[in-house]
Amino acid sequence: MLKLTRLHLSLALLLALSLPLASLSAQEPPARPERLKVQIISIRPHDPFAFTQGLLIHDGFFYESTGLYGSSTLRKVDMRTGEVLQQVVLPPEFFAEGLALVENRLIQLTWREQVAFVYDLETFQQLQTINYLGEGWGLCYDAESESLYMSDGSHILTVRDPQTFEVIRRLEIWLDDVPMRNLNELECAGDSIYANIWFSDQILRIDKHSGRVTAIIEAANLLTPEERAAAGGSAVLNGIAYEPESERFFLTGKLWLWLFEVEFVPELPETYRTPTPLAP
């Protein structure tokens, strides 16, 4: 009877020791990012002289930040015609970058000047300036967490307080142990942040909590080869705006002739645009 008890104890001990290993081996590897493509719904006119750095939608209008020294602006734009309805021209020593809306304030970054301009949404009157360290690239506001997400061209997004602009935390963006550098224009939508990659036709969908890349979106089919060649080498994809009512995205680029209403769908065979430009 004693021998049987010891045998049972030995078996129980071996079983207990093996449980963590079994549990560990049963864990599934992290889910691979989805591979998505852009399906074009409509094509809207866009100012081909607008070096788009930031784009958002509010109350049926686009608000756009355009860059370049001597040409930087803040704009309110008609969503159907592309007409500029309201505009502020920045002093020539500033290169405008990302744009976000917080309540009734528009916050516009600058590239290397380490200053953000804050404007009244209705009048575009400048309310204040905010200083920060480093470069400014993209900016978006997450109303759920009441936080701003800011990019600086690295693989790190800085989460900031929307009132004080103080740094709350930093979010590193990795994919397969590779840092996702050149994160540029940003759009906050639900639990995700969508990020352009500078000089790339890809958009990343990023989990706003963990920084994990949950989707890679291919957007190389927006411009025809002829339009891409005519626009020049610096005319890259940049500008993401989300419209919650339609659950659709709007994409454009620096110096692009068009702005595209799109949906992100599972990968499809490569095709160029099929919709005709939106009628005025």
> Could you state, in order of their start, the residue ranges of all structural domains in the chain?
43-266
Q: Which CATH number fits domain 43-266: 3.30.200.20, 2.130.10.10, 2.70.150.10, 3.90.1150.10?
A: 2.130.10.10
- Inter-CA distances, 1 with 11, 133, 150, Å: 15, 75, 70
For residue 272, how far is the Cα from the chain centroid? 23
Cα–Cα distance, 272 to 4 (Å, whole number):
75
Q: Which residues contact 67 (CB under 8 A, 6 or more apart)?
A: 51, 52, 53, 95, 96, 97, 111, 254
Q: What is the pTM of this model?
A: 0.86
Average the pLDDT over 216-222 and give the result: 94
Spatial separation of the C-alpha atoms in residues 104 and 122, rounded to whole Å: 8
Q: What pLDDT does 177 receive? A: 86
Taking only the tens place, the pLDDT of each residue in 6-28 is 444 444 444 444 444 434 344 56
pLDDT in tens, 186-215: 999 999 999 999 999 999 999 999 999 999
